[in-house]
């Protein structure tokens, strides 16, 4: 009886933990435990419910699909903190999740059951398991009609308007497609776009995403579809419900879908037994590290659709498929100390200093702990031995503590109540995870962060880095970006390590920065949520800072790339007297706060053209991007049907070339591109001479 009581309590505890972490994973996109920990808890609950079948309930996490539905149609976007409304619509066929395992022996059992039930004459289709967020697309008469998230498996959130902004999802099919088609797959964020997005978020003082899966899911639920377009999302499709097609095999269905222009899962393999399955798993356990997107396992499916119908489904997953999940590479090392860093927006982030450890080919010394709540959830203490993984195989994160190695007497860390830099009492707004220092204009770390952002390459491109900014702020020479332009040669020479030549180079860099166009100056101001692309859009739309300051919210929200998050941020920032004073000081030094012939468009030669660049050029890629903008063109990070042409330098990306060939999009080399531009001298004219007189169009059919 005692053991049964313990089991009952444990069942309730497990259900509560799994429900909470399911919500954090699917809705908040902010998981607090690893996939392996979650799956282990789920397996423990399954075992206990099998032991006590009388305690099983229909709403148990073992019987329900993890839900990404926003509560009652409304949700709190963990990324932006704004309320949002998505209409919920039913799935035509239940959209279930896959049973998964980390054990090869359980894959062997799956294969043995299939042999026993189906006999001979069937095959397996093996595919990569993508680490993204599930999507269901419906096409009617060849046109994209609807896109639903998995939701709770019965109904999903309608995200059609956002999905339409994902470049590789066709709005129209081609060829001999069915009049009514449903196809399912995954929305991913490639590593390069994930890194770019996190860099932009850190520059804006926002919390970076833990991994590409969370970034993809959060991006899919953004209120403003124009923001989705710039996130670099990518779709891969891998399942047409067997009830809706007449093909004989799953592989045949996907090949047909590819012929209709749909981005189906590649790297598939057909095999006949467990030996082939094991070989495929072993191969991709190594090779997946070279893929441009995150994968977390292998999916094994019965290939014949009639066999799938025979095997059927449980309440939660199909019986004809199973996922083998790769264990994330993990290391255990000692936590030596915890630093509390203050960002330029005042957010305080705890960072773990670790005994250096090799993980996924790199030495890891530091890992973010995100916030006070995560520290408490981990029950972490300085001196503990902690488990470290790379989230999405990129960002080091602490996933747990090895309590068996904990030394007695270790005290729980105390999150600071005052700013670790300036001593001001921290504030934490209700419902927010981060604590902030409100001493915006006197906190040294916030000052340094704003100045570093202003000097950065994509902003004013002033030479110098963190060590220089530390010197300038610590000496009291600079308190805001405008103070940089007051600096004298004498003041610079008073700094440790400075010589006359270095002072002259820095002052020359300051003078050169005054030639930066309005769009870069606007980006350099550090308006929250306004990244490089949005700054360019705002500058070109309003033409001057004065028009932008006087703009009201409805006018701002009508601008491409601007929505209900960015518009109020711009209004609040430019409405502050201190920020307007800083703008006037910068304007007095000659910085450009309006579009002119010199700082704006040089010509309209590329007007209406969307250009993707790839490879190495005679000048930097940033200069190429700037050149495209100066002549009215628009840069894009990925090839789609909207791409006008691919500008290919030396060693262009093979995937981009392949995509151009599929979509019959022209590929131009640098000389051909420059021949399109008027000869205006300066960088454009000089670089054209460097590139040479010969130009060509590379035929996409060659790739």
> Residues with catalytic annotation?
129
The full DSSP string for 399-410 is: EEE-GGGPPTTP
Q: Is 552 exposed, middle or buried (0-12, 13-18, 19+ CB in 10 A)?
A: exposed
Burial 391-411 (b: 16+ CB within 10 A, else e): bbbbbbbbbbbeeeeeeeeee
Tokens of 539: 């500058």
Which residue reads 């007007």 in tokens?
A: 607
CA distance 287 to 284: 5
Strand partners, 364: 357
CA distance 133 to 138: 17
CA distance 123 to 120: 9
Strand bridging mode 133-140 / 143-149? antiparallel
The full DSSP string for 83-99 is: EEE--EEE-SS--PPPP
Listed residue (640, 638, 644) closest to 611, CA to CA? 644
Residues 6 or more apart whose Cβ sits within 8 Å of residue 507: 487, 489, 492
Which residue reads 């790339």 in tokens?
A: 561
Strand ranges for 83-216 from DSSP E: 83-85, 88-90, 100-101, 124-130, 133-140, 143-149, 155-157, 180-188
Backbone dihedral angles phi then psi of residue 19, each to the nearest 5 degrees: -65, -45
3-state secondary structure of 400: strand
């Amino acid at each position: 009886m005692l053991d049964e009581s313990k089991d009952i309590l444990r069942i309730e505890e497990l259900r509560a933990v799994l429900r909470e972490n399911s919500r954090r994973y699917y809705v908040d996109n902010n998981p607090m435990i690893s996939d392996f920990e979650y799956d282990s808890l789920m397996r423990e609950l399954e075992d206990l419910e099998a032991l006590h079948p009388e305690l099983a309930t229909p709403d148990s996490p073992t019987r329900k699909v993890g839900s990404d539905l926003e509560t009652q149609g409304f949700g709190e976007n963990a990324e932006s903190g704004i309320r949002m409304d998505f209409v919920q619509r039913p799935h035509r066929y239940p959209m279930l999740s896959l049973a998964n395992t980390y054990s090869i022996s359980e894959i062997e059992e799956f294969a043995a059951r299939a042999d026993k039930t189906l006999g001979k004459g069937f095959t397996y289709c093996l595919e990569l398991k993508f680490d993204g967020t599930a999507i269901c697309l419906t096409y009617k008469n060849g046109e994209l009609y609807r896109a639903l998230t998995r939701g709770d498996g019965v109904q999903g959130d309608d995200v059609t308007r956002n999905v339409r902004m994902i470049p590789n999802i066709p709005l129209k099919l081609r060829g001999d497609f069915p009049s009514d088609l449903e196809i399912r797959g995954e929305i991913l964020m490639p590593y390069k776009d994930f890194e770019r997005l996190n860099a932009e978020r850190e520059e804006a003082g926002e919390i970076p995403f833990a991994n590409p899966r969370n970034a993809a899911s959060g991006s899919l639920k953004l209120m403003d579809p124009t923001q989705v377009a710039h996130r670099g999302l990518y779709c891969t499709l891998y399942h047409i419900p067997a009830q809706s097609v007449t093909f004989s095999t799953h592989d045949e269905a996907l090949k047909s879908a590819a012929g209709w222009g749909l981005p189906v899962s590649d790297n598939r393999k057909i095999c006949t037994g467990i030996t082939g399955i094991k070989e495929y798993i072993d191969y991709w356990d190594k090779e997946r590290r070279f893929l441009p997107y995150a994968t977390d396992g292998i999916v094994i499916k019965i290939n014949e659709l009639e066999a799938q119908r025979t095997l059927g489904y449980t309440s939660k997953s199909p019986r004809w498929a199973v996922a083998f999940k790769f264990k994330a590479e993990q290391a255990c090392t000692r936590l030596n100390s915890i630093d509390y860093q203050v960002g330029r927006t005042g957010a305080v982030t705890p960072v773990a200093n670790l005994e250096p450890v090799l993980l996924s080919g790199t030495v890891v010394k530091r890992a973010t702990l995100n916030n006070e709540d995560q520290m408490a959830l981990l029950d972490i203490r300085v001196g503990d031995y902690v488990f470290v993984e790379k989230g999405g195989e990129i960002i080091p994160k602490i996933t747990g503590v090895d309590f068996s190695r904990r030394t007695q007497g270790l005290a729980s860390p105390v999150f600071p109540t005052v700013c670790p830099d300036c001593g001001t009492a921290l504030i934490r707004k209700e419902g927010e995870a981060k604590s902030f220092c409100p001493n915006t204009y006197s906190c040294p770390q916030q000052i340094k962060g704003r100045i570093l952002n202003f000097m950065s390459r994509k902003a004013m491109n002033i030479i110098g880095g963190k060590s220089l900014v530390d010197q300038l702020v610590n000496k009291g020479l600079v308190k805001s970006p405008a103070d940089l332009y007051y600096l004298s040669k004498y003041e610079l020479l008073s700094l440790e390590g400075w010589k006359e030549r270095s002072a002259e180079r820095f002052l020359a860099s300051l003078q050169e920065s005054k030639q930066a166009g309005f769009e870069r100056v606007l980006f350099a101001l550090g308006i929250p949520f306004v990244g490089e692309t949005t700054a360019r859009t705002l500058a070109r739309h309003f033409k001057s800072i004065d028009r932008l300051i006087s703009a009201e919210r409805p006018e701002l929200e009508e601008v491409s790339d601007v929505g209900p998050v960015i518009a109020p941020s711009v209004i609040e920032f430019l409405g502050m007297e201190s920020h307007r004073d800083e703008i006037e000081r910068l304007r007095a030094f000659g910085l450009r706060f309006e579009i002119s012939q010199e700082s704006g468009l040089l010509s309209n030669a590329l007007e209406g053209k969307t250009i993707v660049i790839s490879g190495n050029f005679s000048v930097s890629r940033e200069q190429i991007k700037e050149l495209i903008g100066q002549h009215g063109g628009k840069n894009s990070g990925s090839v789609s049907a909207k791409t006008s042409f691919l500008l290919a330098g030396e060693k262009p990306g093979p995937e981009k070339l392949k995509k151009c060939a599929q979509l019959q999009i022209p590929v131009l080399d640098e000389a051909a591109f420059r021949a399109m531009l008027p000869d205006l001298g300066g960088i454009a004219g000089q670089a054209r001479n460097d590139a040479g007189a010969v130009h060509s169009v590379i035929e996409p059919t060659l790739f």
